[in-house]
Structure 1
Amino acid sequence: MTAASSSSSPRHFTVSDFDFALPPELIAQHPAAERSASRLLDGRAVVPVDRVFRELPELLQAGDLLVFNNTKVIKARLYGAKASGGAVEALVERVLPGTREVWAHMRASKAPKPGAVVRFADGAFEAEVLGRCGPDNGLFHLRLSGDPFALLEQHGHVPLPPYIEHGDSADDVRRYQTVFAKEPGAVAAPTAALHFDEALLARLAARGVGQAHVTLHVGAGTFQPVRVESLAEHKMHSEWFEVSQATVDAIAACKAAGGKVVAVGTTTLRALESAARGGQLAAGARETDIFITPGFEFRVVDRLVTNFHLPKSTLMMLVSAFAGYEHIMALYRHAIEQRYRFFSYGDAMLLERSRPAG
């Protein structure tokens, strides 16, 4: 039996519908000792099943297709000082292609003005403030004194989420990154994919489960709660993504053979469903600010591997749209009762797309 299908009469959701009480001790501060040793809540049926992530190959069939996000997390957090000596913390949100320029969040006692110079990493390099930019002019447009990717790799810190309370370590450099990360540009990890290690990927391939990739550079907005009660009033953050023709072809072949397309993570799902907004999945690269809420018509993804998300977040709304609101809330109650670990370094669940009534 699959998860409960959505009601025939549409419900008007508010942000409060996606709230839940989470004991703070269930917020994972460190990853599991082994990637594939995390727990997996199998939520495909009405009654959930508690599993271990390395059981995933047995839950899929030959001909199914796993689609991963191959973005690479950059060391996007920087510490520096203004000419006045005032401390500055920056989080690079986006590196502008082919330039020394970036968009960044900045925290300082007084916001630096255009023309100001900020020295980062004890003076190792500088950034000139060009002005404000981005959605609602909330970001700073900076020009660095060298190649952004090289400077960040050498002097930056892993941009751990705000709910992780320790500073980044060598272990975070390794574990807040997927084993197949390839395209640099994300400031948050595609966390569902953190559970895959080389041995698990080999077992999936041996079972006949295909693998394909998209790229979506995850932004810091993924952690932001929705601050308006009406979902219609929320302005979704924008992220850059690319879907290759090879991935489009792999998905078409999978579906033609009767296989299931399994998105690994909400970022992969966002990329695929954004690329299909015209009615059919199309290759290409562009921005997406797609906001997936209950009632959304999914065109590509059949199953979803995902971690547990923050209360009132857009990702709670996305998984509720995918698997059904009541079913998701029941799964979250079960996960809390069974002491699953939550958020980026936490455990995962496997979801089936709910079928609309009729």
Structure 2
Amino acid sequence: MTQQASTDSQQQVERVRQEIAKVLVGQKEVVEQLLWAVFAGGHALLEGVPGLGKTLLVRTLSQAFELSFQRIQFTPDLMPTDITGTNILRVDETGQQSFQFQPGPIFAHVVLADEINRATPKTQSALLEAMQERTVSAGGATRPLPEPFFVLATQNPLEQEGTYPLPEAQMDRFLLKIEVPFPSEEELKAIVMRTAGGHTSEVEKVASGSEIAKIQQAAREILVADAVLDYAVKLLLATHPGEQAVPSVRQYVRSGAGPRGVQAIVALAKVRALLAGRYNLAYEDVDAVALPALRHRIFLNFEAEANGIRPDQIVRDILESVRDQKR
């Protein structure tokens, strides 16, 4: 990778940040993590209480890119064919009848799966093939999805009535899970001033699909030293309960992260290094992406739920322990 390619990537991403900032107040860390997912070529799950701008962020992101966008509102009565599409009967001018495939909203570059945990597991599973294989099997054929393709899903962590928790296999398909925090006092004032004034900013398209692909390729070319890769692998292995695990993992973790966890860490860390203008992965990149890459891949037991233990606390314990071993 040349220095010019790195500089161009940084400038392109900075323009995307500026366009998003025209609409969204604050949430810089959330925006940054979402950009990591996009330029690593993966899917993201955004979790936060209603009204924090999750849907607005995804919509604005798609507007800043020259990409098609579809929003799917997940509800208990949503059917898999409402997402993937289905064959419908067509009658031509001569009266001849034939079946024709009508594509569903999944056939877009950016798919917003809004409140994904409100749909039944059967409907949620309609996304699995799309997220993993970038194809849809429907209407007797397997059809490729457009490139690039991203599923950006949202869910509310507080409301549990009428929801269906995502199965572990589907959670693992998300490259990272982003927790959207509540705005600060100053940000709340800015939100009110911006919305009450009736002023709306036009978001310009500043990156095409081919330009996104170039940044993704530049990120893949970031070098990874053996020592840094060993560090990432040790972080993943430390999520599994066992005799050598940290006390919190032994006590509270039912099962740890699978191989996709370390793949996610390395992919996200490469993007972070690229956007920082570096050509090789650093320990700090791995540390920075560990929380969003692992928090949804660690499954806690009943004791953890009863004591209010969250996956973030477990990941921080692991980071501290593995860092001490590295020293």
Range into which the TM-score falls when normalised by the shorter chain: under 0.3
Q: TM-score, normalised by structure 1?
A: 0.22
**Alignment TM-score, normalising by the size of structure 2:** 0.23
More helix by share: 2
Higher strand share: 1
Higher RCO (Cα < 8 Å, 6 or more apart): 1
